[in-house]
Chain A
Amino acid sequence: MRIGFIGLGIMGRPMALNLLRGGHQLTVWARRPESMQPLLDAGASGAASPAALAEQAELVISMVADAPDVEQVMLGENGVASGGQSGLVAVDMSTIRPSAARSIAGRLLAGGIDFLDAPVSGGEVGAVAGTLSIMAGGSTAAFETAQPAFACIGRNIVHVGDSGAGQVAKAANQIVTGVGVLTVAEALNFAARSGVDPARVREALLGGFASSRILENHGQRMLDRNFKPGFKSWMHQKDMNIVMQSAHELGLCLPLAAATAQMFNAMVGSGLGEEDSIAILKLLERLSGGEG
């Protein structure tokens, strides 16, 4: 399949490599030309702009930072919309506000381009291994078209619903993981400050109803004090902001997500933004009069 790929950062680069390995004919574009080099070396061709990339493609995929970036590459000057033929399927795999995804979908549809929002979960590890979870929103036809590409980069691939539904699922995912990381950190800090070995507590909890993947994986990394990302705190802060903006738009009461978002604000403000989100433990330690 002729695929165009935009955005070759920590997530985008390995995803694009997996598409090449899957036998797809790949054209790439990135804002910084030097980030295209590893892909060109591996056999992809480079495009001069998202528009030029879209001209040659049956499917375009973007993996960029935030909604304004998606708007820019899809609808901006020399964007996908100005080069793409009617019938093109454009897939954005970045994490952005559901309402922004819906608005972009509507504007692309006016030019005959079918848009899927398909954010992922699984981090850099999942991107490299090709085992990302993909949650897609948009038409069934577009989802079917993108399927051969998704198969190269993801494992658990779910068509959640209409336009925006993928981003809603991702936001829900970030509520559960954000609040989850905070509660595991609170529990382990509570144990430690009560004079009990947090490793034993974790082990005990893993057998019961408080067991979870976050307690297992993130909890272990907290015990190891391994704060290397993984998933950087500032990115989780950005995602919690998406959650809180959506709650405000909808008139939704999300007390725990709101508290968690404030903790992520404090992390970024106190210089922990580049560390893994489990560094929320350090923040709790500081707030409890410890070293952190």
Chain B
Amino acid sequence: MRLGFIGCGVMGRPMALHLLRGGHRLAVWARREDAMQPWLAAGAVACTSPARVAREAEVVFTVVTADADVKEVVFAPGGLAEGFAAGAILVDMSTIAPQNARSIAGRLAAQGVELLDAPVSGGGQGAIAASLAIMVGGRAAALERVRPLLELLGSTIVHVGDHGAGQVAKACNQMLMVATVEAVAEALHLSRVAGVDPERVRQALAGGSAGSRVLEVMGGRMVARDFAAGVEARLHHKDYAVLIAEAHRLGLPLPVSAQVCQQLNALMALGWGRCDTASLLRVLEAGQPGTGGN
């Protein structure tokens, strides 16, 4: 199949390579030419604009950082929208606000192009292992056309609902995950300050009802004091703005999420935005000098 791919960050780079290995033709574009090098070496074709990528492809994937980036890649001069033929599908795997996904879908539908919002969970590791969880919003027929492609990228593919539904699921994913990171950080902080070995506590908890992936992975990082990212905390901070804005738009109380967002704000202020979100532990310690690890 003729595919297009835009976004060569931690997630996009390995994902595009999986599509190439799946035997598909891949047209690519990136702002910085050198960033495309690993793809070109694997057989991808470089284009000079997103519009040209769209002209070359039946299905285009985008994996960029924020709402503004998606809008720019699609609608700016030389953007994908200029190059799309009717019947094309855009699979946006970035994490953006559900409302923006819906509005982009509406604008593209006017030119006969289908949008699927298909954000992912699983991080850089999941992208490399092609074991991502993919949550899809949009029309079922469009999903069925690209399902074999998504199967090259992830192991769980769920059609959540109509346009924006994938982004709603992703917002819920971030809500649960980061709130759990905060809870694990508080538990391990309590253990340490109470004079108990946090690693032993972590091991004890892992076998019971409080056991979770976050306790295992992020808890492990906290105990090891390994705060190198993982997923950079600034991205979770960005996702929480989406969550809090949705709560406001819908007139919905999210008391715990609102508190977690404040801890993320503090994390940013303390300069750990490019570190792992396990740094929420360090935010707790910063409020209590002398209680930290080192």
Contact = CB atoms under 8 A, between A and B. Distances in A.
B254 A265 contact: yes
Interface in A260-286: 261-263, 265-270, 273
A269 B153 CA distance: 39
Interface stretch (A116-124, A155-163, A218-226, A250-258): A250-258
B262 A255 contact: yes
A273 to B, nearest CB: 7
A265 B253 CA distance: 5
A18 interface: no
B274 to A, nearest CB: 13
A259 interface: yes
B262 A265 contact: no
Interface in A152-209: none
A248 B251 contact: no
A252 B269 contact: yes
A253 B258 contact: no
Contacts of A266: 251-253
Nearest to A283: B253
B69 to A, nearest CB: 18
B253 A269 contact: yes
B248 A265 contact: yes
B251 A255 contact: no
B263 interface: yes
A269 B265 contact: no
B157 interface: no
B290 interface: no
| Chain A interface SS verdict (over half) | helix
A262 B254 contact: yes
A57 interface: no
Nearest to A271: B251
A145 B269 CA distance: 38
Contacts of B254: 262, 265
A251 B259 contact: no
Interface in A227-249: 237, 241, 244-245, 247-248
B265 A248 contact: yes
A255 B264 CA distance: 11
A263 B269 contact: no
Nearest to B234: A251
B262 A251 contact: no
Nearest to A260: B258
A260 B125 CA distance: 38
A265 B252 contact: yes
A279 B237 CA distance: 32
B40 interface: no
B224 interface: no
Nearest to A256: B262
Contacts of A263: 253
A249 to B, nearest CB: 9
A242 to B, nearest CB: 10
A182 to B, nearest CB: 12
A292 to B, nearest CB: 14
A250 B237 CA distance: 12
Of B237, B245, B253, B254, the most chain A CB neighbours within 10 A belong to B253
Contacts of A252: 265-266, 269
A259 B258 contact: yes
Contacts of B91: none
A257 to B, nearest CB: 8
A270 B251 CA distance: 8
A175 B259 CA distance: 15
A267 B253 CA distance: 9
Interface string B225-266: 000000000000100110011011011111100110111011
Contact of B252 (A245, A248, A253, A269): A269
B268 interface: yes
B258 A269 contact: no
A141 B268 CA distance: 37
Given A251-B265, A251-B266, A252-B269, A258 B252 contact: no
A273 B252 CA distance: 12
Contacts of A269: 250-253
Of A250, A251, A259, the most chain B CB neighbours within 10 A belong to A251
B269 A258 contact: no
Contacts of B247: 262, 265
A250 B241 CA distance: 12
B248 A237 contact: yes
Contacts of B248: 237, 241, 244, 261, 265
Nearest to B263: A253
Contacts of A258: 258-259, 261-262
Given A248-B237, A251-B265, A266-B251, 19 more contacts: A241-B245, A244-B248, A247-B265, A248-B240, A248-B241, A250-B269, A252-B265, A253-B262, A253-B263, A253-B269, A258-B261, A258-B262, A259-B259, A265-B247, A265-B252, A265-B254, A268-B251, A269-B252, A273-B251
**Which 6 residue pairs are nearest across A and B when measured between Cβ atoms?**
A269-B251, A251-B268, A251-B269, A266-B253, A268-B251, A258-B258
Interface of B: 237, 240-241, 244-245, 247-248, 250-255, 258-259, 261-263, 265-269
13 contacts: A244-B248, A248-B261, A251-B269, A252-B266, A252-B269, A258-B258, A259-B259, A263-B253, A265-B248, A265-B253, A265-B254, A266-B251, A268-B251
